[in-house]
A and B are shown apart, each in its own frame.
Chain A
Amino acid sequence: MSRATVPDSTDDTTAVYTYPDSLTEVPMRYCPGCTHGIAHRLVAEVIDELGIQERTVVIATVGCSVYAYEYFNTDAVQAAHGRGPAVATGIKRTQPDTLVFTYQGDGDLASIGLAEVMHAAARAENFTVIFINNAVFGMTQGQMAPTTLMGQKTTTTPRGRTLQQGGHPLNICELLATIPGVAYLARETMTAPKYVLRAKRSIKKAFQAQMDELGFSLVELVSTCPTWWRMKPLEAFKWLEDEMLSQYPLQVFVDKTEQND
């Protein structure tokens, strides 16, 4: 697959939308209607705009985004399931001038990696987490996640999530908002242009918080998984807006960058 080229100067058209430098040309393996592609692009645009590509390290974790190290055109480390924030801590503590972000799904972050993300926030570790919440384990074929909605059918809640069998969904941002080490914390989505623009603004602020050494930053992106929700892409976007956003309302929880302005 070749990158869209900028027309030469003899052409009177102007390029207004090009491929971000911080993405490679490797074709992404994500399913149609999945929002990972948008999330990747937004992060890459932010890295380009902040001019930090040469000193950024992405921590790819375990799940559908395990190949993030192939897609982001930066230094990269692939971490064990849930351990991204610990790996990021090790990198940031030894190379503080490096910009570090983990890219974690809800299985990775909210289930097996809950301890690592909470303690990284408590230590006010100076890195950024991009948290993809699609209410399901995608890579392993659609099992219940901690973020699965009550009543939601998954391959391990075939009759829908019940309180008795699976307990309550976990709201990560609301938990993190109680921790003083958090410098920027927001929940966004990407189902419409207005949301995409908001999401990008939050991602940029999260990276800015890191560059200003304000502490831990996280942007939760409420995302789709049409394949394991067993929906067409447009149905998935609608279900996200109708069902997920009431459990996971869009909100900027913490923004210490504003105190810095």
Chain B
Amino acid sequence: MTKRKLIGGNEATAEGAIAAGCRYFFGYPITPQNKIPEYMSEHLPLVGGTYVQAESEVAAINMLYGAAATGAWAMTSSSSPGISLMQEGLSYMIGSELPCVVVNMVRGGPGLGNIGPAQSDYWLATRGAGHGDGRCLTFAPYSVQELYDLTGEAFTIAQRYRNPVMILADAILANMKEPCRLHERRDHPTQQPQWAVGGARDGRPRNIINSLYVDLPEEEQVNLRIARRYAEAAQNEVRLAEYGADKPQILLCAYGIAARICQTAAQRATQAGVPTRLLRPISLFPFPAQTIRRWADCVEKILVVELSLGQFIEDVRLAVEGRCPVELMGRTGGMVMTPEEVTDRIVQMGQSD
């Protein structure tokens, strides 16, 4: 049974996790995601779960590491500077092959920056986490409903690939309210995975959660095993949405809140005589490279719109492999482009040939 409710992005994220079976949350306050830990501290005890306010993001991610080692469905959330502090812990979790969910409500940076909306953690999310040869599977919702749905689904995906999953959103998505379909809260899984530590052993061999491999060939084999999971995720978990003209002159590429702006722009540009299609990656790693490559053969130009100064565009260019020109429209530091500005840019691109 589902019900529709007007709900904020942060609350939808937290409720999505609880509804999916998440029962443990470890976090540290930072704007603009504070409503997530607040919601968790209120609701988790009501469903037999536990909320712990850590002394820092460094501690939070390592509490998550401990919880994940027992096979618990657990998560943390933070915003850009806090996510920077979590990089080491995420690297350990990738190396130890542990599932978890991490939400990043991105704010303006670098440094302390501001609490405005930004997408400038694209590299941090898709190229990290931390040191070593591993990455976070990364998903980018663009609505309150998708925050709810994807955060819930992230737990299943994390378990499937035994790897951290990052939900990458921003200050606008975190704070806006939209109607959202909520389903009933599912019970969390009580059966521990066979690799987990703690609990009743009942005679099973002891388990070790570890990312130290001093034997170099062994470390290489572990990294190759992790890479095979990423290849598998590239087969099964690529998600995208497409909107607008079937025979476009211009392809717009944008994710998250920037794609919301581009939906309007694509419509208006098409009405103004420049057929435009919007391609919105929902999974950022794995990246929908094949679909973008196919469109690159059919359009005159691609316009990448992002709230950063050329991070996401690198993945688009890698996908396009030089098939057509790829241009950037970026804002930074918490600033946002308007649909009119994007429309004008598309029309200008369409007329320049």
A interacts with B: yes
- On whether the beta carbons of A115 and B197 are closer than 8 Å, the reply is no
Given the known interface contacts A76-B206, A80-B89, A93-B24, the answer about A98 and B62 at a Cβ–Cβ threshold of 8 Å is: no
Question: Is B290 part of the binding interface, using a Cβ–Cβ cutoff of 8 Å?
Answer: no
Q: How far is the CA of A80 from the CA of B72 in the complex (A)?
A: 20
Residues of A within 8 A of B26 (CB): 90
- Give the interface size bracket for B toward A: 35 or more
On whether the beta carbons of A91 and B62 are closer than 8 Å, the reply is: no
Partner of B62, one of A54, A90, A95: A90
Shortest Cβ gap from A249 to chain B (Å): 29
Nearest first, the 9 A-B pairs at minimum CB distance are A90-B66, A86-B62, A95-B198, A87-B66, A90-B67, A119-B55, A75-B197, A83-B62, A90-B63
Measuring CB to CB, which residues of chain B are less than 8 angstroms from any residue of chain A? Answer: 24, 26, 50, 52, 54-56, 58-60, 62-70, 72, 74, 88-89, 92, 96, 197-201, 206-212
* A80-B88, A89-B52, A95-B199 given; A69·B62 CB < 8 A: no
Given contacts A57-B197, A77-B209, A116-B55, 10 further A-B contacts (CB under 8 A): A76-B210, A77-B66, A83-B89, A87-B66, A91-B66, A91-B67, A95-B72, A95-B198, A95-B199, A116-B59
Q: Is the CB of B65 within 8 A of A90?
A: yes
The answer to whether A66 and B212 have CB atoms under 8 Å apart is: yes
Q: Assign chain A's interface to a size class.
A: 20 to 34
CB pair A91–B54 under 8 Å, yes or no, is no
Tell me which residues across on chain B come within 8 A of A92, comparing CB atoms. 66
A219 to B220, CA, bound (A): 38
B199 and A97 contacting across the interface, CB-CB below 8 Å: yes
Show 11 residue pairs from A and B whose CB-CB distance is below 8 angstroms, ordered by the A residue: A55-B198, A76-B208, A77-B65, A79-B62, A79-B92, A88-B66, A93-B24, A93-B67, A98-B70, A115-B59, A118-B55
Q: Decide yes or no whether A94 CB sits under 8 A from chain B.
A: yes
Residues in chain A near residue B199, CB distance under 8 A: 55, 95, 97-98
Q: What's the minimum C-beta distance from B196 to chain A, rounded to whole angstroms?
A: 9
Residue A73, interface by CB 8 Å:
yes
**Interface flags, A170-202, vs B, CB<8A=1, else 0:** 000000000000000000000000000000000
Complex Cα spacing A93 to B45, Å: 12
Closest Cβ–Cβ distance, residue B65 to chain A (whole Å)? 5
| Cross-interface CB contact of A91 among B55, B88, B89, B198, cutoff 8 Å | B198
Q: Give B162 Cβ to nearest chain A Cβ, in Å.
A: 15
Question: Which residue of the partner chain A has the closest CB to B206?
Answer: A75
Give A119 Cβ to nearest chain B Cβ, in Å.
Answer: 4
Inter-subunit contact A115/B56 (CB<8 Å): yes
